[in-house]
Chain A
Amino acid sequence: MSLLDILAHQLLNGLVLGSFYALVALGYTMIFGVIKLLNFAHGDLYMVGGFIGFIVLSAISSVVGGGWFGIFIAMLLSMLAVGFLGVVIERIAYHPMLSAPRLSILITALAVSLVLQNTALALTNGQYTAFRSDLGFGGITLGGLFITYNQMVLVAAAAVLMIALEFFVTHTQYGRAMRAVAVDADMCELLGINVAAVIGVTFFIGSALAAAAGTMAGAYYGSLWYFMGFLIGLKAFTAAVIGGIGSIPGAMLGGLVLGLLEALGTQIPGIGSEWKDVFSFAVLILVLVFKPTGLLGRSEQERM
């Protein structure tokens, strides 16, 4: 393989990885937007989403098959279930803490993360679960680059979800309200907007996106683990900060940028794939040093 082919191949890997990061980062950034909470349990919802998708697929694969159609159904049901789980978590764990000091709610989020992880640990005995599906290995060759259909479907699915989200936040009243609550919740109440309901919708959508990523990643990589949400949670947080925390386009961009940087970073001589996490967190530190508001973030300024 020529160097160019290797680069193209890594770009593709980065795109796939970046799609997962972006989907998880979106929830991170949306939830941060409306309640200013770094929801450390968000990565674990990705894990729960993977497991629920797997359970649903196991139950329905005899009817609809284990190909992309079956995975699509499993993904939708998983999104629905995890969306509601997110809403319930917000109601039970975060809502009562909204007027408490910020640190209390942050610690609550860590606790929720531990509960989710340990529940999954108990249910799986800490073993890896094989996510069996009937995805083939077919694909097309473009020059020296082989692109699997799976990669294409996955990136396309992530893109469709992100476009749908973008439409929602710019063209619907609830979407506008979500952006507005992120800026000024009190003003939203004065406009007759039930802020608690908007927060609920935000948790639903953010959690559902994490579940979509979890199901797709499970099917794509072929295995699930109770701890799989931890690292992607950190990476998604990194992606959200790189893009500018609170910014929805920022989370999409940050996720893709991080995925691409990681994939390409492994090609730099001296930085093997075992260094890829070091590489992404180094990028985070650089962004924080040179552009603390992130690529698309705004600084907090208000004109009077």
Chain B
Amino acid sequence: MSSDATPPVLKLHGVSAGYGRIRALHGIDLEVRRGQIVTLLGANGAGKTTALKTISALVRASAGSVLFEGRDITGLRASEIARLGLVHVPEGRHILRGLSVRENLELGAFTVRDPAVRQERMREVFGLFPVLDHRQHQDGSLLSGGEQQMLAIGRALMQGPKMLLLDEPSMGLAPKLVLDTMRIVKRLNQAGTTILLVEQNARLALRLADYGYVLESGEIRMQGPAAALRADRSIVQAYLGE
């Protein structure tokens, strides 16, 4: 864990949000420091996805504020937030149907004007995921689940992220692919990307993360260093299935 002296990259202060009249988040506080992997745990419907969507402005915060690199980003458009380098890889991957793998990646670099930079990033992505290189002319939505996850992450990397919001990257994948995905997450983090990870597989997430938050009914119930949460019997019982 980095010391408390470093200012957080991402800071949520009393954030509430919901859909219509239904409130899904009730004033949550959360911090992610530079270089960390922080995981957000909780049962289905606890508000994990809503939390990420509120950070990236797909859902409007009804109260509270979101700060990225010290700047208040509450009220910005989702595309403006993405351009700041805070990149959200949503649940379900959202590969753009009818566009080739290459086109999906190109759109990741939509805001990059310099074609040389785009080319360089694409080379890096193909280096990380060679299968995308081989399939670059196929319709992205026809890839297998694992390949789609690689494309979703690759597309996020094309955006040149300072920080990634990853929502259930292992969802629906075979066990081996789940481990592969987690290794990639670790590798991106070691390369300097800060990560906020929402993951169904709490055991895995806590092994990867530096720090964890547990959401329940839209409120933060518990938080602490990942090692401490792993050792906590109540968490083990509630979320690790033992």
Contact = CB atoms under 8 A, between A and B. Distances in A.
A1 interface: no
Contacts of B103: 176
Contact of B88 (A184, A190, A193, A302): A190
A192 B83 contact: yes
A6 interface: no
Interface string A176-201: 11011001101111111111000000
A190 B106 contact: no
A303 B142 contact: yes
B141 A303 contact: yes
A304 B92 contact: yes
B82 A191 contact: yes
B66 to A, nearest CB: 15
Interface string B89-103: 010111011110001
* B interface, size bucket: 20 to 34
B90 A183 contact: no
Interface size grouping (class) on chain A: 20 to 34
A302 B145 CA distance: 11
Interface string B51-93: 0000011100000000000000000011100110001101011
A302 B98 CA distance: 11
Nearest to B108: A191
A191 B107 contact: yes
Nearest to B172: A304
Interface of A: 173, 176-177, 179-180, 183-184, 186-195, 298, 302-304
Closest 5 CB pairs of A and B: A189-B78, A192-B82, A187-B94, A192-B111, A192-B83
13 contacts: A173-B107, A179-B99, A186-B58, A187-B90, A187-B94, A188-B79, A189-B78, A191-B108, A192-B79, A193-B107, A193-B111, A194-B79, A303-B148
